[in-house]
Every structure is written in structure tokens, then in C-alpha cells.
Chain A
């Protein structure tokens, strides 16, 4: 098998097996007739055109594919808003245990005391860290958490005769999932522009608020990495208008243990266990997006929630902590389920293992994440004079701020004006230097934006090296940068061709 070039490893070109690359026993129960009750009319006529590959061929194929994929394990991954921190391998080992991998969500409570205990501990921990009253672990992604919480707010308003509240206010710097999730509930979206310094424009907010306001959705620190100083004023204004405050927890890594959404006045929050609590991103998922709410919203949450009581006489042993764990139904006013079972339990268990590493010292995690972001920002924005002289233009600060939180934005607009090199070009050129590109062109209020989040698990040496490479790129021959990347598995990819031609599957085996 040739490597690279046109001759790539092709799953459908292997011929190492006649159609079953993996051995399994013959049907061992009954005779051949035992399945013939499947009516002739229902029988599959021709088998699926699946690969005819042997296990060794597949092992090589997937190993080859993995070598063409960049993860945190490969190198620095400063992808803003995504919190690409190290994923401890212990957590992967734990979820292989039969006590999680081989568990059915409908098993009786006495068979899953350990799982319920972990769920309960995680609910309590997340409630404490966020200043909320009740937590559910059911939503399986951040966007689903947003959706679930907005559904709870919707039913809450219906329950108090406020059905007419059909508008949700969202700043233009918000993640795209915020407006999409609210719209899926049936809300109309009012987008308010951010002030030039990235803060919430209180005048614009005042204008947007009204008797029809259902809620406001924001993340704090914002996607610009800046903490909103007027946050208490914002939550007060929205509450006065009769609306609810929703906290997008995507940026929770910045503030854990330092402040919390409860203190800021929020009513509901989601957490991204795949960001803050190190569930691996897996090329796009799985995630886990639990939500926490204040008590007035708790009766609308999806069922069930883990609960516990003191152990009594004839209870079985349990997990040995003196408690008996149970599923608690939320009751009649629940919005109902958003996932059929109890959420991404495996992700919850990984996050639990991550949390246990820090315990009450979780705030060290946020301190180091914020320290790293500020340090890297400082290094990039303050090159020494020799370095600065070699650059075509300086990187510009996305927004003026004394300090940032866990991430920051840069604008490449001076570079673009000087030599025609765009933010996208710089991002692609970084790939040649063996690091992942930052988040590109988001938030849109910063022109030629790069959004950078180093996380707490990177060393000073890695960030120094990144800053030096960044400065080098800003001084390189523009021709090299605008045609980057040059050393990756493929060079710049034609996304327009893909969308025009829509070749969405392999033609199948030859």
C-alpha cells in the first residue's frame, strides 16, 4: 500500500477477507430454521456494500488515518472557546470498567448504586461550583443543555401565565448555538450589538427589553475573553423586565472557584464537561452538557435526577458510604426527556475522575488557565524590538482590556492592510509549524479575528515557542503565508468544490 499522494489507504479496496474480517460463532441456538420466521418478503435481497477487509488490513488503515489527524496529543491546540486541555488517560481506563461499559440504564437501582453515587456527587459538585440549586446530567452536549434550559424557562413562563414572553435577547458575540437553541424552542431572537470594547451595550439592552422578554442568554467572560463588569446590572435589568438569565458555561474554565453564575444573578446555566472537565472531544463528540437551575426552575427539569437517603435496615450494602442512592422523578411539570436515557454517563464518569484530581482546589485550574492566557497574550503583543522590526505589521489586540480571562482575541487587520495576509493565512501557516490553528473569524465583531485559548495544561516553554513562531510568520514572505500550509497531508482544501459537487459517500467496493 502506497502511503500519501493519490494512492491513499482505501477502506473499500481491501480484499483480505471474503466479507467478514472478524470471526464470530455460528448461531448456536436451535437449528437453521429457527430464524426462518422472518417472512420471505422482508428478507434482505443483497448485502450492504461494506468493506471486505481483514483485521490486519483494518488495523493498518485506521492507524494510517490516525497519523493523518491532529489532536492535543500531537501538539499545542490553542482553539479558542473549545478548552482543549490535556485528557488524562486514567479517565479512559475507568470507562472501560464493566461497571460502566456493561451497564443498561434501565437496570434496577440496587444494581447501579455506584453509578448513582457518581451522578449524585457530580450534581452536587456542579451545583456548588455554579451557585445553582439543582443539576441534571441528562443533556448530552452544550447545545442540548442550552435547549433544555430554555425549554424549562419556557414552561416556567407558561406556568405563571406569561406565555406571551416570546423573545430571547442574545449579544452578537454569542456562540451560534445560543440563538439556534432558543429558536428550536420557538423563540424569536433579538440580537444586540456589543459595545466596541466587547462589553454589553446597556442602552441597546434597555431598548430590547420589554413585556415580551423571555430570557437573555450570555456567556461571561464573553467570547472575547473579557469579564463583563456590569454583569449584576445586566441580570437586574432583565429580571426587572420579567425575563430569565441564562449562562452559557462554555467559558467556565475562566472563573471556577473565583465567582459563579449564581452570584452574578443567573437563573440557569449549562456546563460543558467536554471543555471544563476534560471529556475528550473525540473529533467532534461525545460531549456532555449538564444544566443547573435555581429552585424556581427545578420542577421543569427532565427526569430522573440522582438522589440519596440515609441507608436503612434491609437495604443492601450500597457503596459503603451509609447512603442509598435512587432515581428521583421530577414530576408532572417536567418538560420530559431530551435524551432517551440518563445522558452521556460515560462522559460524566470521566469528568468525575477529572474533578477528583482537583477537588476543592478546582480554582487552581482556572488560575492557571487565566495566567497562561494573559501570559501568551502579553508575549504576542509585546515582541522585542528586533522581532518587531522583522514583522510586516503588529498583531492587534482584539479588544482593549487590562486583563483577559481564559482566552483572548487578536486582529490581523494591520497585517492584511500592509501585505494582504489574512487571519486565515496566518492560521493555515501555523499548521506548518506543527500547532493547531486558533479559532478563526469568531467573534465576528473583531476584524480578521484569531481567538486563542491555551488552557492550564500548557507549559511556559510551549507558549514561548508559539509566540516566537507567530512573530516569525508575521515577518515571512507573504507569498509563503498566503499559500500555506505546505507541509501538511494535503494543502489548502477546496471547500467550495465540496459543496458544489456533494460527493458524500464512496461509490463502494469494486
Chain B
């Protein structure tokens, strides 16, 4: 190949790099390995991790210890899907385009809003971009310009993402208060009326389902966007926010399609009313036809996007989480309308049974005793949650999440997650572990 180009060495191909910036020594890295050796190292290293399936686990904190149907991984990793790029050439990308159009349909049906995109990176960036999207739509008519209210129970890491994404557009983030019992404070909500957007989560970070949120849109008014973050599985039994006034719904898609995967790749869902379509972030697939009138699919509304609009784009998002959304689509399609209800019931009942069992331990009380919970609930302990977790860990139980990590003043509060895989023996192990910790702490 070199001689055909009239060259004698590979070095000539790099002669355009000025000598003073060339690397003249080999990279100080380890030697190359064969597939067998890499596989052995991967097994050794990743085998040193403790999988959620190895022990009773009550750690959720926004991610789901799910069971993904076997079909999903096997079909989504077919090379035609796995190794394709963004479908810029629709004539040879109808498969992924149709799958994403179907994904948009299933998300739309799930949350009760007409429009959905192909995915965001995760729920935190979906919230952040939902806020900037809502502000673009509402800025002009709002009476509290550039003001956005965010629920006080949004986890701090998610709030950091929101702040990073919104600080450049000069938004003021105010905190929407909740009452002592975890439910929304309607007088605080009334102060939000006329701002650009309000963001709440149903269920909240404490797993609380709040019926009061269904009145929120009426309180904040038409000129303020209501953005709701959801647990996607809960919508099998819980009324979708699109039906009670939400303008944009976001959620962590991970429970459908992929394991927690150490936090990624996962995907955020993003759905909205038609008034927001042209200000949305992300890829959108539309139905169309080819020159013969044959049904076809294509990416559409690209004029919102960075490769066309550059610095005036609605978002900088380019690579997204399409393959994971495809896994989610397969999982949703397998569940079907009855399967999603069944799955939600399994999680709801596991949450309730676990909650009752833990609350029955002397010395442990529920943070919000009157609340209805989905997937998670918070308890207050007589000592530090971090100590309880260490004790539980020593007894082979992943006991949940120390809420003191998220909020000062909650260091005695433990966030306990339950799901469709929680068993009676898991609960017994948790109760036994907490009881023995309490005895030790008391003595």
C-alpha cells in the first residue's frame, strides 16, 4: 500500500506533525493481550465486585434491581443494531428508526403525553433539559421571568446536574417546599404561579406517592410548565402525569431494558405536549414515505439540533442512549399492558410488606408514617444510618442508602428500597440484621 503511494515508510504519513511536538518514545503502558488474557482479567477484576444478586439488597436510590427478559439482550445486540450509527441514511436504517418510533409510542402511552423523543442520557439530564426546554416556551409569557421551582426532595446530585445545565441561561432555581409529612406544600406551590416551570417527582426520592400533586397544575396555572419525574414502573398502577396536567414528563428508563450497570449506560425518557415539540432536545423519529409512496421512517425536526443549528440548537446532545432505549422498547413490548400492571403491583406490594416489617421493629420509625410508598421508604433509626449499613453489610445484607449523604440532618435516616425480586427471606435477613444492630447499639 505504501509503495503504491510512492512512500517507503509509515513515518512519512506523519511527516505533517511538527517535530517539536512529536512523541519519540513508546507510550508507557502495559503490553498487548490476547482475547483469552483479557477475558481472564475481566473475570478476575469484575469478579471481585459484589453483585446485587449475590445477597439481599435494599439499595435503590433511583435505580432498579430489575430482571430483564432474556430476549432483550440477545436481540438488541444483533450486529445490525449494535454496530450501526445514528440513522442519518434512512434508506438503510428503517429497522432502528421504526423501533425508535415504536419506542416513542410506548413512552407516550405510558406517561399520557403525545410526543416523546428517542432518549436522553439519564433522568438527571432529562430533567435539566426539560427545564431549559420549558423556559424557552414560557419565558415570554411568564410573570416570574427566568424563575424555576424545583422540589426540595430532588436528590442533590440531580440538582447539581440541573444547576450545571441551567446556569448558562441565567435561570434562578428556587426550592419548592414540602410539608413535614412529605407531601407538597400548596402555599409554596402558589408562590410558584407564573414562573417558567415547576419540577416535582412522583414518587419522591423517599418513594412517596402524593395525591396532592394532581392538583398542582391548577395552582401554578397555564403559563407555568409542570414537569414531573416518574418511576416508570409505577405507571402500571399510578395515573400518568399527562392525565393530570403535566406538560413534560421525564423518568429514569433503566428499569425497562438494562441492569443498574454501575450507573450507566442507562437512559432518560422525555415526553411532552405538542406545544413543546419544536423546543425539545434530542432525536425524534417521524413517519413519512419514500418516492414510491411506501411507508418509511426518518429522523425529523433536525433543525432544532446542533449539527444544523450549531450554537442556537435546543441542546448539544448528539450521541444519546438509543441502544438502551431499544432494550427498553423490547422490555416494554414483552410486558404489554397487563404485564406492566403486574410488575407495578409486585413492586408496590414488596414495598408495603417490607415497610410493615421494618416499621414493626421496636426503635425504628417511619419518617412519613401516613404516606403511600412505591419502591422506596425512609425510616429513622436510633443511631447513625451509616453504622447500621456497616453492621448489615457484615451480616451479608445491602441494607439501603444513608440519607445523610444527601441531606444534612438526615444521618439517622435510612432509605430502603424493595422491588419485584424482594423475597420473604430477604426481608427476614434485613429485619434480623437491623434488630441485632439495635441490640448492639443499645448495649
Contacts and interface: CB of A to CB of B under 8 A. Distances in A.
B333 A141 contact: no
Interface in A1-56: 5-6, 8, 11-12, 17-22, 24-30, 34-35, 37-39, 41-45, 47-53, 55
Interface string B78-93: 1111111111111111
Nearest to B337: A47
A451 to B, nearest CB: 12
Given A63-B78, A371-B1, A495-B298, A104 B260 contact: yes
A494 B295 CA distance: 10
Interface stretch (A172-180, A384-392, A414-422): A172-180
B79 A72 contact: yes
Interface in A255-282: 255, 257-260, 263-264, 274, 280-282
B52 A282 contact: no
Contacts of A144: 121, 125, 316-317
A74 B80 CA distance: 7
A436 interface: yes
A39 B342 CA distance: 17
Contacts of A107: 49-50, 52, 59, 398
A200 B345 CA distance: 61
Given A51-B333, A65-B95, A360-B32, A341 B263 contact: yes
B85 A77 contact: yes
Contact of B336 (A53, A318, A490): A53
B339 to A, nearest CB: 4
A445 interface: no
Give the most central of A18, A69, A320, A363: most B CB within 10 Å. Answer: A69
Give the most central of B48, B59, B73: most A CB within 10 Å. Answer: B48
Interface in A339-368: 339-347, 349, 353, 356-363, 367
Given A51-B336, A71-B83, A341-B264, A506 B342 contact: no
A50 B109 contact: yes
Contact of B260 (A103, A339, A495): A103
A183 B92 contact: no
Give the most central of A11, A28, A374, A493: most B CB within 10 Å. Answer: A493
B336 A19 contact: yes
B335 A22 contact: yes
A48 B337 contact: yes
B10 interface: yes
A498 interface: yes
Interface string B45-73: 11111111110010101110100010101
Give the most central of A104, A360, A498: most B CB within 10 Å. Answer: A104
Interface stretch (A113-121, A202-210, A472-480): A113-121
A344 B332 CA distance: 22
A231 interface: yes
Contacts of B110: 48, 50
A258 B165 CA distance: 36
A99 B52 CA distance: 9
B63 to A, nearest CB: 6
A504 interface: yes
B17 A227 contact: yes
B315 interface: yes
Contacts of A51: 106, 333, 336
A123 interface: no
A406 to B, nearest CB: 10
A238 interface: no
A257 B16 CA distance: 15
Interface string A80-99: 00101001101011111111
A264 to B, nearest CB: 6
B352 interface: yes
Contacts of A494: 288-291, 296
Nearest to A90: B35
B21 A360 contact: no
Nearest to A53: B333
Given A59-B75, A102-B51, A112-B49, A69 B161 contact: no
A502 B65 contact: no
Given A48-B337, A114-B46, A490-B94, A356 B41 contact: yes
A68 B89 CA distance: 12
B408 interface: no
Give the most central of A184, A403, A508: most B CB within 10 Å. Answer: A184
Contacts of A283: 81, 84-87, 93, 96, 100, 322-323, 326
A69 B209 contact: no
Nearest to A103: B262
Contacts, number: 673
A17 B338 CA distance: 10
A341 B382 CA distance: 29
Interface stretch (A185-193, A239-247, A290-298, A307-315): A185-193
B95 A504 contact: no
A370 B13 contact: yes
Given A20-B335, A360-B27, A371-B13, 20 more contacts: A5-B294, A27-B345, A38-B237, A45-B239, A66-B81, A69-B95, A99-B48, A102-B65, A106-B401, A114-B49, A118-B46, A180-B310, A180-B315, A186-B170, A258-B22, A259-B22, A346-B261, A489-B92, A490-B296, A493-B290
Contacts of A345: 261-264
B262 A105 contact: yes
Interface in A471-510: 483, 485, 488-495, 497-499, 501-506, 508
Contact of A359 (B29, B94, B214): B29
A336 B161 contact: yes
A128 interface: yes
A499 B301 CA distance: 6
Interface stretch (B111-119, B138-146, B173-181, B435-443): B111-119
Nearest to B264: A344
A375 interface: yes
Interface string B218-249: 00000000000000000111111001000000
A249 B346 CA distance: 46
B164 A58 contact: no
A20 B333 CA distance: 8
Contacts of B2: 371
A448 B439 CA distance: 77
A140 B122 contact: yes
Give the most central of B13, B52, B316, B323: most A CB within 10 Å. Answer: B316
B377 to A, nearest CB: 11
Given A27-B345, A371-B10, A436-B92, A115 B333 contact: no
A106 B119 CA distance: 24
Contacts of B346: 24-28
Given A186-B168, A263-B21, A363-B27, A49 B109 contact: yes
Nearest to A7: B295
| Minimum-distance CB pairs A-B, first 4 | A341-B263, A282-B323, A99-B46, A73-B79
B42 A97 contact: yes
B400 to A, nearest CB: 10
A362 B12 contact: no
A492 B263 contact: no
A362 B32 CA distance: 9
Interface in A210-245: 226-227, 229, 231-232
Nearest to A20: B339
A318 B185 CA distance: 47
Nearest to B89: A437
Given A48-B110, A100-B261, A37 B91 contact: no
A50 B340 CA distance: 9
A431 interface: yes
A24 B339 contact: yes
A5 to B, nearest CB: 7
Nearest to B52: A102
A28 B347 CA distance: 10
8 contacts: A20-B338, A143-B319, A282-B84, A360-B28, A374-B5, A403-B15, A489-B92, A505-B115
B157 A340 contact: yes
Interface string B286-305: 11111110111110110101
